[in-house]
Amino acid sequence: MTTATPIDPDSPILVTGATGKQGGATARRLLAGGWPVRALVRDPDAPAAAELAAAGARLMRGDLDEPASLRPAFDGAAAVFGVPPVTFGPAGPETDLEVARGRALIDAAAAAGIEQVVFSTVASASAASRVPEGKALIEEYLRDRIALPTVLRPVRFMTNYLGVGGLGIEGISDGVHRHLFSPHGPMQIIALEDIAEFAALAFADPARFAGRTLELAGDEPTPVEAAAAISAATGIPVRYEQLTDDEAAALGPHVAEARKRWEAGDRWHADIEALRVIHPGLRTLTDWLTESGATALRARLTAP
């Protein structure tokens, strides 16, 4: 049986997806806490990679679609934060590609003798405690191959109000936020910084978090309440509208199915009060708006 001991603070933590949202937030949090960070990037010359390097991360070129390229980044790392990039096709997520990328990451960690991997997937639905097939397969593989696995399952990001490319929903357009959710039902959300905080907590105390799966959320306003909070924080009127069945179907079968499941009662089910015991600084939507969200939203909504 492997004994969970704290990571040597002088040993690097490898962050995959480092130029993306969760990976970037986690890399910045670890650097701020004094951890040496390796950032796995496909293009070291990309602006987001350059920003990480300027912040103190060591850039390591590697591509999850090219498993042979991963070894130098993983060798000598103390632990890994993993979030494989997801590819969407016309019918929705490309599960086989997502699973291949997740397994490539896990195999590289195992081959390098890395015992702790904190892996971020996605929140499960309360009706059947399920996650999408690809992420479920990756989680299972992680537990089979890694001695000290921790799974983070975050709900919808607060930054999604700024817009998310490729999904056909999210963001605010002409003063309207349109989504799948029921207008007056609770909708769990989380700040990216808090996903990073839970990852940092796990790296600081492997024994406490090994083998755990944490459903992550920081607040649960209704969409109407969220729109009102954004209006108050930005000074720009915003209202919420729920997509109709036909509008959801026009965005693709995966969107239509997600709306159907939500209306049938599938809900994210993070225990926010319990999470706040672990991480007392867990952000509400108002906290995020005060810290950074309102400024970013105001700039986005007033852009010509």
127 falls within a domain: yes
Q: Which two tokens stand for residue 235?
A: 């000074």
Instruction: Identify the residue with better confidence: 258 or 111.
Output: 111
Of 16-25, 89-98, 290-299, minimum mean pLDDT range: 89-98
Residue 75, pLDDT score: 96
Q: How far apart are CA 8 and CA 181, in angstroms?
A: 44
234 falls within a domain: no
Query: Whole domain around residue 17: which residue ranges?
Result: 13-223+254-301
238 falls within a domain: no
Q: Is 283 exposed, middle or buried (0-12, 13-18, 19+ CB in 10 A)?
A: buried
Contact 106, 142 (CB under 8 A): yes
Residue 91, pLDDT score: 62
184 falls within a domain: yes
Residue 268, pLDDT score: 93
249 falls within a domain: no
DSSP 41-75: ES-TTSHHHHHHHHHTPEEEE-BTTBGGGSHHHHT
% of the chain with per-residue pLDDT over 90: 79
State residue 242 phi and psi, 5-degree precision.
-85, 135
CATH value at residue 44: 3.40.50.720
Radius of gyration of the chain (CA): 19
**Confidence class for position 264, pLDDT limits 50, 70, 90:** confident
CA dihedral 44, 141, 190, 193 (to 10 degrees): -40
139 falls within a domain: yes
194 falls within a domain: yes
pLDDT in tens, 205-251: 999 999 999 999 999 999 999 999 999 999 999 999 999 999 999 98
141 falls within a domain: yes
Overall domain count for the chain: 1
**Confidence class for position 3, pLDDT limits 50, 70, 90:** very low
